[in-house]
Amino acid sequence: MLKFTLAREFSAPKIMTAAQPIIRPARAEDAAALAPLATQLGYPSTTADIESRLALILPDPNQLVAVAELSGQVVGWIHVALYLTLESGIAVEIRGLVVEEKRRGMGLGRALLAHAEDWARQRGARAVRLRSNVVRDGAHAFYQHLGYSVVKTQHAFRKNLD
């Protein structure tokens, strides 16, 4: 009597075709990569501008700049700050978030935001807040998709100092 062995289905080992993003704290030497992204966010900035701001932000334990790195290239960043108000306690504010135009829709914004939220939780913040220009429809859909709600509508005031 012939014995038959059932042929097993073999699936080829998965080949990593896409590079995995790394989320890490920003370093001073990232300035040249962060500047064009700040410009994409709508705030034209030079490498020197970002260098001088990073020099103030990086030593501050109440602020975080984290970057998304893909294949060794910085393609997104988030800046958040812990702050205390007399009326509402400790919270974290998102001061800036941007992903390189060609790298949007890949989950990098979600990963940067999750990293910042973990950082906020570890510091006892009860909420993450942000203000966003009313014209940024795409960003608003992104935030709402990730659990953020519009809680009020404000006017933004500014006085330039001489």
Ligand X SMILES: CC(C)(COP(=O)(O)OP(=O)(O)OC[C@H]1O[C@@H](n2cnc3c(N)ncnc32)[C@H](O)[C@@H]1OP(=O)(O)O)[C@@H](O)C(=O)NCCC(=O)NCCS
Q: For binding to ligand X (CB under 6 A), which residues are involved?
A: 41, 97-99, 104-110, 130, 132, 136, 138-139, 141-142, 145
Q: Which two tokens stand for residue 54?
A: 């990073």
In the complex, what is the shortest distance from the CB of residue 91 to ligand X, in angstroms, rounded to a whole number? 16
Q: Which is nearer to ligand X, 124 or 133 (CB)?
A: 133
CB of 84 to ligand X, least distance (A): 22
Q: 121 vs 136, which CB is nearer to ligand X?
A: 136
Closer to ligand X by CB, 82 or 97: give it. Answer: 97
Query: Which residue has tokens 């040249």?
Result: 32
Whether residue 68 contacts residue 74, with contact meaning beta carbons closer than 8 Å, is answered with yes
Residue burial 113-139, b: 16+ Cβ < 10 Å; e: rest: bebbbebbeeeebeebeeeeeeeeeeb
